Amino acid sequence: MPYRAPVSDYEFMLRHVVGFDDVAGTDRFAEASEDMVSAILSEAGRLCEEVMAPLQRNGDLHPARLENGVVRTSPGFAEGWKAIADGGWIGISAPQDFGGMGLPVTLLTAVNEMMSGACLSLELAPLMSMGQIEALEHHASDELKQLYLPKLISGEWAGTMNLTEPQAGSDVGALSTKAEPNGDGTYAISGQKIYISWGDNDFTGNVCHLVLARLPDGVPGTKGISLFVVPKYLPDDAGNPGKANSLKVVSLEHKMGLHGSPTCVMQYDGATGWLVGEPHGGMKAMFTMMNNARLGVGGQGVGVAEGAYQHALAYAQERKQGRPAEGSSGSIADHADVRRMLMTMKADVFAARSILLACAVAIDMQNATGQADWAARAALLTPIAKVCGTETGMEVADTGMQVHGGMGFIEETGAAQYYRDVRVTAIYEGTNGIQAMDLVGRKMMDGGEAAAALIEEIQSQAEQARAKLPDLAEAVWQASETLRETTEWLAGQKDMNDRFAGAVPYLHAFGRVLGGHYHLAAALADPGGARECLARYYIRRLLPEHTGLLAQAQIGAEGLFGLSLEELAV
């Protein structure tokens, strides 16, 4: 059951749902015409279908392994990386001055989503490079840019992110890796980093690590952290990989899924590194990379959801079971409960993809116009896109397994791999709980203004839709009104625990309402058609979930700590 890139879905959504015309209308992205966008998506889609999808099972069956300190990647992954690199896909949104295509993040997001649906464990490698490229572009010295960016963009070298340490996970400020000045402008980096995705490979000439570490005069906490680029091989005078740096892969983690992606424990023993950005300014630079990565991880979830949905649909259409009703295909796809699962999967994929692309559009508009309201919109949507994308990935993979019945639990089917692989996306790049706390904390430091502006847009579209689709419009309007009330309530809470207690249900409800909003846009563009049918399914059946979630979000921390730890254990 091969992966099929959902190119036409993107084309429809860019035009009718998420307002990509705004992006194409800016000077900066003037070349992103409809034809150009279609060509890019089709070309990337072909790569995903023909090169990456056939590698999906390889990664699972033949995991990356560590041999004598060297990572050996899964069969075909080296060729896969080369095809990604040769197509220019690593640099799709990278600056043209350094060999990138300079295209909108919206296209990058679509391409990353497709690559994730085809082969998640391999897609994670270019995603890591993309984050590094963006961090270096915005924070590194010209010299570092000249040396690193062309090679990262071309895929000759690969990049990684090194944040986590055993005692410093969600609390990155607790890290203890040290950076000592060598006196020649470089630094000696020492410490251990864990959970380093693609910490090494056997297909690029160099692996460049962006490492968070503390300078001797760095204060405790996040304010004392600096960022360094630490290459596996020290570049010689010509910029080619030279002497090996003092760093190594200690071990690979034995994970539940994503076996094609080597998750490394990295040891730095006085490794030579170069400062990126200001001393003690590491968190700022890291946030550039993390925001990129969060959107990317949301896209991973949506991509896996698309892959798992296609996989389940193909199975359901082939599987005969029970007495077929008259006029039925005889397959289980015509059973009401199976059809419910398929429709739910499809409607949820659309919703999550819309949120993802709307976030990307906001980032592009922020980059193209510099307007603060677009920046606020992008900041607001990033945690929602990350969580809704990854939760949709997990739920659709779960439902897809259920569609398979007994076969779903058998590894050969491939349904289980989606389920195992995607699970990590709710954990890495900031757990989904951390994202939700970001939404009701940092992202509401404006008193809920950015959220209110978005809800205003939702209500405005709903008002306009009343004439054509009165029932759907009313449902979306009502849902957004409840969301508005809850948002105001949350923004008014001074004790942060009263916000945090309901952060996750609030974020989920926000996602549901946004899903209704974008489905309504699709219905308006396709009255009486398949888009309206799917929108009606979502808005009538799935959107009502927001009521229970928002009820939960408005309770605050009351009673949350009512049981002692001892009572919890009884």
> DSSP class of residue 200?
-
- Please say whether the beta carbons of 304 and 223 come within 8 A: no
Give CA–CA dist 282/171, Å, rounded.
Answer: 14
Our finding on whether 42 is near a copy of itself (CB under 8 A) is: no
- Count of CB atoms situated within 10 Å of the CB of 470: 10
Whichever of 337 and 463 has its CB closer to a copy of itself, that residue is 337
Contacts of a copy of itself in 277-316 (CB under 8 A): 310, 313
Binder among 410, 468, 471, 485 for a copy of itself (CB under 8 A):
410
**Which span (20-28, 142-150, 351-359, 404-412) binds a copy of itself, by CB under 8 A?**
404-412
Closest CA to 108 of 181, 23, 234: 23
Interface pick for a copy of itself out of 182, 251, 321, 460 (rule CB under 8 A): 321
Kindly state whether residue 406 participates in binding a copy of itself, applying the rule CB under 8 A.
yes
* 272 vs 487, beta carbon nearer a copy of itself: 487
Residues in the interface with a copy of itself (CB under 8 A) total 94
User: Among residue numbers 322 through 361, which ones bind a copy of itself (CB under 8 A)?
Assistant: 322-323, 329, 333-343, 346
- What is the closest distance, in whole angstroms, from the C-beta atom of residue 197 to a copy of itself in the complex? 11
Place of tokens 């969600």: 170
Which residues between 477 and 496 bind a copy of itself (CB under 8 A)? 496
CA distance 347 to 182: 56
Q: Which is nearer to a copy of itself, 312 or 360 (CB)?
A: 312
By CB under 8 A, is residue 504 in contact with a copy of itself?
Answer: yes
* Of the residues 72, 311, 423, 508, which one makes contact with a copy of itself according to CB under 8 A: 423
- Rounded Cα–Cα distance for residues 291 and 398 (Å): 27
C-alpha 124/C-alpha 475 separation (Å) is: 38
Q: Is 180 assigned a catalytic role?
A: no
251 binds a copy of itself (CB under 8 A): no
d(CA 245, CA 469): 63
**71: β partners:** 66
Q: Which residue has the tokens 């490794």?
A: 271
The distance in angstroms from the start CA to the end CA of the chain is 48
Annotated catalytic residue within 412, 429, 488, 545: 429
- Compare residues 17 and 103 and give the one whose CB is closer to a copy of itself: 17
Q: Give the CA-trace dihedral at 110, 115, 120, 124, to 10 degrees.
A: -80
Judge contact between 193 and 162, C-beta under 8 A: yes
Positive or negative, the CA dihedral 106, 111, 116, 122 is negative
- Least distance from a copy of itself to the Cβ atom of residue 541, Å: 5
The contact mask relative to a copy of itself for 140-179 (x = CB under 8 A, - = no) is: ------------------------x--x-xxx--x-----
The nearer residue to a copy of itself, 401 or 521, going by C-beta atoms, is 401
Residues annotated as part of the active site: 429
